[in-house]
Amino acid sequence: MSVREWLAVAMFASFIFGILSGFPVAWVLGGVAVLFTAIAIIVEQDFGHFTGVDWNFTSLVTDRIWDLMDNWVLVALPMFVCMGLLLDRAGIAADLMRDISRLFGRMRGGLAVTVALIGVVLAASTGIIGASVVLLALLGLPPMLEARYAPTFAAGTVCAVGTLGILLPPSIMLVLMADRLAISVGDLFLGAVIPGLMLAGLYITFLILYPAFRPDVAPAPEHAEDVDLALVLSVFRDIVPAAALILAVLGSIFFGIATPTEASGVGAFGALLLAAWRRRLGRNVLRDVLRETTLTTGYLFGIFVGASAFALVLRGLGGDELIARGLLGLPFGPNGVVLSILLVTFLLGFFLDWIEITFIVLPLVAPVVVGLGFDLVWFTVLFAVCLQTSFLTPPVGFALFYVKGVAPPEIDIRTLYVGILPFVGLQLLGLAFIFIWPDLVTWLPARAYSQ
């Protein structure tokens, strides 16, 4: 390895060390990029080793930030964030929790299934792991614990379902991945639909079967009411407008009627109307939602800006060739290379959020995978599911820490570790299915084109 490649490795190590200090991720990324530019200049001028990075090179970060500004695809991000916040403030999730749980009142594990269904329907509001996991924990944990569900079972359900939201379209993670890899957002959304629903199906099957064999984890409900027509109608009244809105957004993208950006803006408009129709849209609520959109967008793009600088300098130091050489030098076949990438991604997911991984790691490994003859949409979905699994996995899973922050005291970190294990197993099963049968990803986008 050349000196500049050692610098690239040291740069990555400094970054991991830096973020563990608890200093804001955005500034660690940008700062490490500037620091290593200075080091590269010293190494080149004083020690005579070629590095290829100097101030002129790193100044290109301005162009990279401008590329983020001059970007019509990413306009969808704040719009989806805004739509999610509006659906949240419209109180739809709370109404769904109340009504669907009555619908499943007589079933063992019914509350857990309710949480899973809400997670799927409101995946739109849940592009951000923290937001979705916290929402479901606040909404789902108290009734499940009150119904004497095992805390491990209840906590595991909330973590797993909340994290599934980052995969199910409309997902801001997929928008960013598509933008970075220059593939179509619509294709990636379509590709993620079947794997996402498959994972949701695996979860729900588990949530129904497990209590059947281990009745103590979810005791039979004591005073369940009968399901009558009025109840069914009330469930429909809650679920139809929100579900219709999300289906309209996704449908218009899938059928090529609207671009993802247009769909996101119209979706936000629909959420605005929905909130107004439910009489939840006062002036104060609107102001709060817009300010929260600014702040959420701000911290996302803060990391984008920092990560742009970091990725620029890492590439300047030859990090991309280093990765390509390392991957292709592995003593495995093409499948082995993909599995190795997934394993490393899984481990990186313990420390890094999806944003840094999407900006820094994904663009480095994607060309290698494409060069090996794999489908990029398939690989990206696989990569996304792998990241999502990583966020669930102890000891550092992001989702677990978010839930820990809002959970009642009887749910300690051990409860979360135990509770999440079966879901990590299901995730790995899902990952294996997608790996073995790429059609799960590629079938739907191919159909959309054949029309």
Partner 1 sequence: MDRNVSAESASPVEALLDKVAALFSWVWLALIAVIVFAVVLRYAFGIGRIEFEELQWHLYAAGFMIGIVACASRDRHVRVDVLRENMAPRTRDWIDLYGILLLQLPFLTLVFLSSLPFVADSFSVGERSASAGGLPYRWLLKSMLPLTFGLLFVTTLSHLARVWRRLFADRPASDRE
User: Is 265 a binder of partner 1 (CB under 8 A)?
Assistant: yes
User: Is 179 a binder of partner 1 (CB under 8 A)?
Assistant: no
User: Is 287 a binder of partner 1 (CB under 8 A)?
Assistant: yes
Please report, as residue ranges, which positions from 184 to 243 form the binding site for partner 1 (by CB under 8 A): none
Question: Residue 73 in contact with residue 177, Cβ under 8 Å?
Answer: no
DSSP conformation letters of 219-265:
PPPSSPPP--HHHHHHHHHHHHHHHHHHHHHHHHHHTTSS-HHHHHH
Closest alpha carbon to 7 in 30, 31, 41? 41
Which range touches partner 1 (CB under 8 A), out of 14-22, 119-127, 196-204, 274-282?
14-22
Question: Residue 420 in contact with residue 397, Cβ under 8 Å?
Answer: yes
Residue 142: how many other CB atoms lie within 10 Å: 14
Distance, CA of 345 to CA of 330 (rounded, Å): 16
User: Is 42 a binder of partner 1 (CB under 8 A)?
Assistant: no
Q: Which is nearer to partner 1, 109 or 265 (CB)?
A: 265
User: Is 152 a binder of partner 1 (CB under 8 A)?
Assistant: no
User: Is 151 a binder of partner 1 (CB under 8 A)?
Assistant: no
Residue 111 sits at φ, ψ, to 5 deg, of -65, -40
Query: Which of 17, 50, 66, 332 is the binder for partner 1 (CB under 8 A)?
Result: 66
* Burial call 147-167: b when 16+ CB within 10 Å, e when fewer: bebbbbbbbbbbbbbbbbbbb
* Burial call 48-87: b when 16+ CB within 10 Å, e when fewer: eeebebeeebbeebeeeeeeeeeeebbebbbbbbbbbbbb
Query: Which of 11, 40, 43, 82 is the binder for partner 1 (CB under 8 A)?
Result: 82
Helix axes 362-371, 376-392, angle to 10 degrees: 140
User: Is 401 a binder of partner 1 (CB under 8 A)?
Assistant: yes
Query: Which of 303, 369, 381, 382 is the binder for partner 1 (CB under 8 A)?
Result: 303
Which range touches partner 1 (CB under 8 A), out of 241-249, 289-297, 327-335, 435-443?
289-297
Question: Residue 126 in contact with residue 162, Cβ under 8 Å?
Answer: yes
End-to-end CA distance of the chain: 50
User: Is 119 a binder of partner 1 (CB under 8 A)?
Assistant: no
User: Is 182 a binder of partner 1 (CB under 8 A)?
Assistant: no
Query: Which of 95, 103, 269, 339 is the binder for partner 1 (CB under 8 A)?
Result: 269
Binding mask 343-382 for partner 1 (x = CB under 8 A): --------x-x-----------------------------
Binding site for partner 1 (CB under 8 A): 18-28, 30-35, 55, 58-59, 61-63, 65-66, 68-72, 74-75, 78-79, 82, 130, 257-258, 261-262, 264-266, 268-269, 272, 286-287, 290-291, 293-303, 305-306, 309, 351, 353, 396, 401
